[in-house]
Structure 1
Amino acid sequence: METIAAVVVTFNRLADLQKCLDSLRQQSRPLDAFYVINNGSTDGTTEWLATQTDLQVTNQPNLGGAGGFATGIDTAYRGGHTWLWCMDDDCLAAPDALAQLLAAPHLGPCIKNSMSVSASNHEELAFFVQRPHKTYRLVSDMTDVELVYDVASFFNGTLIHSEVVKAIGIPDKALFIWGDEVEYMTRAQKMGFPVVTVPSSVFYHPAAFDRNGIPWPGAWKQYYAVRNQRRVLQNQFGNTVGRFVFAAWAAKATLQQALAKRANRLYNTLLYSEAMLDGLTNNFRKRPETIQTLRFYKWRNG
């Protein structure tokens, strides 16, 4: 008998976590287990989770989304479940979201993703997707087909078969945030597992806030998006070619920041340069407090 476990990663968003878990508890196809990974929350989340008898909770230091899902996927996989349904704490699942994923065409061991819809505008996708021959921005861009191949918004309603985890392992903790999900997806694709979005399965999520650039000091997160692209391109092109592709991509992105007419152009350029250098030298050890550009920003701005 197939069993399905939810894997939820949370950090200092107790109200969002409570709503997320409520939506999971109300699924038309009941979940068999709930795994919650608490990334060092300090807002009362730890205390509240201790009162929830239906949850299997792991409390750990803040290891970012990558470290959270690495722990959650590993724990749920070792629990012997057939499918792992992975999500951040700020997601809301439609009542039949899981049932619709299971009802979608059988693809064998694979990854099926719910369609991630903006919580504030239900006609728009939470994350825009730019493909070579198609751009997905609106819900209607996806709903005319049963499955959208090679498009998925990890980790927002991402249903992963245990055979996939057995073959590709768990997310890379060293990536911390931003890009870890893409690296995991490309790893699965490289091994030949289908990755699809199921438009009939709906997840609501806050719209991506980085569409037009992120203001400082929050922009430090972009460091990880740039640096971690090294691993994504390595998966796609191999180590040697991937390094050259990354160097060209990162150099172009850094130049664009240098030429952009934005208030924080200096910090953006330094951040991209630092991320490019660390990616090229395989330095994946930095945490937020050791990003030099962020230190420089704090020194100048107090």
Structure 2
Amino acid sequence: MKRIAAVVVTFNRLNDLKICLASLHAQTRRADAIYVVNNGSTDGTDEWLKSQPELIVLTQANLGGAGGFATGIERTFQDGFDGIWCMDDDCIAAPDALENLLLSPNIGPAIKNCVSISVKDHEELAFYVDRPNQSYRKVTDMTQFDLVYGVASLFNGTLISAEVIRAIGIPDKKLFIWGDEVEYMTRAQKMGFPVVTVPTSVFYHPPSFDRNGIPWPGAWKQYYAVRNQRRIFQNMYGSKYGIVVFLQWSIRATLQQAKEKRQNRLYNFLLYGEAAFDSLLNNFRKRPETIFTVRLYRYMHK
């Protein structure tokens, strides 16, 4: 029988973490081990985790979702598990989520994802997916299929075969958040591994929001979505042409922010431009407190 490890990455959401872990303990096919990567939480998570002897706790500074899953995947892979089941701390697994992932059609080494359903509306997907010939917004858009190829909401109930990890490595810690999961998915696809959603395996997750419309000062997250997009395009189109695609995309996206009738469109414009420029310079060192546009906004809104 395959040995499966669950990896949960958490940062300052202790109540959500408790609910997530309770759903893992209630699985009809429980994971063989549960690893929790504590990304430097300051809300009492560290103290609570010390009282949970059944968990394997990995504590580190806040390295974002990318750094958290990189640590968790690397450790569980080294510990010899056959599959790594990854999730954020605000996920809730249906009782048969892992069992149905393992019972889904055998397609060899792959990335298999639970279907992410909105906790607010169980008829809607938590993450909308638009493809040239198909849009996935309602749960029924996916349940008509045994497997939905090329679609997965990493890292929300994502089961990764050890063979995939051996071939493509771990998530890139430098990406920090937003886009790191897509980069990892496209890296797997680039090397020929199937990436699928299993509609019979259900996860509940807060619905996503319009990234382009995040209110300031929380819009700093969009910096990473733009900056990391270059890596995604390079996985999809090759190293050299991917930069050309990114350059065209980032120029259009940045200019679009200047046209939008939003209260902080100037800051959005500057943020997009800064992120694109840093990406082209291969500057992946910035953290939220060192993003120039964010610092400017906070200075102007003291």
TM-score range, shorter chain: over 0.9
Deviations 1:160-210 (A, max 9, x none): 000000000000000000000000000000010000000010000000023
Cα deviation, residue 211, structure 1? 5.4
Closer, same or farther: CA 211–176 of 1 in aligned 2, 3 Å:
closer
3-state DSSP class of the match of 2:8? strand
Measured in 1, the distance between the counterparts of 2:212 and 2:284 equals 26
Give the distance between the partners of 2:213 and 2:199, measured in 1 at CA: 28
Equivalent position of 2:258 in the other structure: 258
Moved over 2 A (4+): 209-212
The 5 Å alignment of 1:268-287 reads: 268-287=268-287
1:90 aligned partner, one-letter code: D
Shift of 1:238: 1.4
CA deviation after TM superposition for structure 1 residue 2, in Å: 1.2
Aligned pairs for 1:1-302 within 5 A: 1-210=1-210, 213-302=213-302
The 2-side partners of 1:239 and 1:112 are apart by 26
Unaligned runs of 5+ in 1: none
- Structure 1 distance, partners of 2:201, 2:247, is 38
Distance 2:67 2:217 in 1: 23
In structure 2, distance between residues paired with 1:297 and 1:39: 26
Letter in 2 for 1:130: D
- Secondary structure class of the residue paired with 2:198: strand
The amino acid across from 1:226 in the alignment is: V
Scaled by the length of structure 1, what TM-score is found?
0.99
State how far apart, in whole Å, the 1-side matches of 2:30 and 2:137 are: 31
Q: 2-side partners of 1:99 and 1:34: how far apart?
A: 16
Assess if the C-alpha contact under 8 Å between 2:77 and 2:165 holds in 1: yes
Distance in 2, Cα, partners of 1:30 & 1:137: 29
| CA contact 2:211–2:222 (8 Å) conserved in 1 | no
* 3-state SS in 1 of match to 2:143: coil
| Alpha-carbon displacement from aligned partner over 1:45-101 (angstroms, at most 9, x marks no partner) | 000000001100011000000000000000110110000000000000000000111
Write the distance in 1 (CA, Å) between the matches of 2:132 and 2:149.
13
Q: 1:150 to 1:27 in 2, by over 3 A?
A: same
Secondary structure of 1:234's aligned partner: helix
CA offset digits 1:75-132 (Å, max 9, x no partner) = 1101100000000000000000001111110011101000000011100000000111
Q: Percentage identity across aligned positions?
A: 68
Question: Residue by residue, what CA displacement relative to the aligned partner does 1:140-174 show, whole Å, maximum 9, x if unpaired?
Answer: 11111110000000000000000000000000000
Aligned to 1:218, the other structure's residue is in SS state coil
Matched residue type, 2:249? W
Displacement, 1:212? 6.2
Secondary structure class of the residue paired with 1:142: helix
| Partner secondary structure for residue 140 of structure 2 | helix
1:249-293 Cα deviation digits (max 9, x unpaired): 000000110100000001000000001101111111111111000
Aligned mates of 2:31, 2:69 — CA distance in 1: 18
Q: Within 2, Cα distance between the matches of 1:183 and 1:294?
A: 25
Distance 1:134 1:108 in 2: 25
